[in-house]
Amino acid sequence: MSLAPVIAVHVGLGVAGTAALLSPDPARGWAVLACVVAYAVALVVVCRRTGHPAWASLAGFLCLVSAFQVMPDWILAELLGTLRFPDTGGPRVDDTVPLAMALMWVAPLFLAITAAGLRPARAALTAFGVFSAAELLAPVVGLWEPIGDTTRLLGVAVYVPPAEAVLGWAAATGWHATKDKGIGAKITAAAAVSVIYTGALVVSYFVIDVAVWRVTR
């Protein structure tokens, strides 16, 4: 089982993603969408053909999870008002969340969970690290940015990484629970993962930016 082709897929994502992010608007949004679609397809195919069936199964499940992740992004942007996605072109959901976000979560979750050896408890820790790095980088490259009255550290909304640690655990757990089941069970589990993440976001936001502020003011 060679790792080289799987590594090549991620190197390709890095190269193509950099080129996409350097594109002028409105081509940039379309280029990012093309990158995440190509990455998701290539990841599943390469993992399957190079003798990594568990990784291929995980990648497919994460595509489902990522599709549902549009909802928590939408809630943060429209309901809490703590997140903004710059309009760089390409299709958007209700003119709020770029459609590319429907597959944007696959790469960081795949890296976090495989780095954790597919173990849910460890995936929480690796997801915290991977997503903290992503949250630092995203505003710089214009993918998304925190807004509103939130506690921030180095430009990152502090309430988000703990919830993303929960997401890593939930995604790994959901995959383990349904990897040998049908598509209906996988879709249900993927939706549940996104609901768990949404709840974790709201609780984390309340504790860090509402409760703590009221206690310490």
Instruction: Output the tens digit of pLDDT for each of the chain's 217 residues.
Output: 678 889 999 999 999 989 999 988 889 999 999 999 999 999 999 999 998 999 999 999 999 999 999 999 999 999 989 999 999 988 999 899 999 999 999 999 999 999 999 999 999 999 999 999 999 999 888 899 999 888 988 889 999 999 999 999 999 999 999 999 999 999 999 999 999 999 999 999 999 988 766 666 5
Return the pLDDT at 1: 61
Round to the nearest angstrom and report the end-to-end CA distance of the chain: 57
Instruction: Give the HSE-up count for residue 45: Cα atoms under 13 Å, Cβ half-sphere.
Output: 8
Measuring CA to CA, which residue among 144, 58, 169, 154 is closest to residue 106? 58
Helix-helix angle 183-205:53-68, to 10 degrees = 60
The answer to whether 91 touches 103, Cβ cutoff 8 Å, is no
DSSP conformation class of 145: E
How many CB atoms lie under 10 A from the CB of residue 74?
Answer: 18
The pTM of the full predicted model, rounded to 2 decimals, is 0.93
The answer to whether 21 touches 142, Cβ cutoff 8 Å, is yes
How many CB atoms lie under 10 A from the CB of residue 206?
Answer: 12
Longest dimension (CA), the chain: 58
Report the distance separating Cα 214 and Cα 217, nearest Å: 5
Return the pLDDT at 36: 96
Instruction: Give the HSE-up count for residue 103: Cα atoms under 13 Å, Cβ half-sphere.
Output: 18
Return the pLDDT at 142: 86
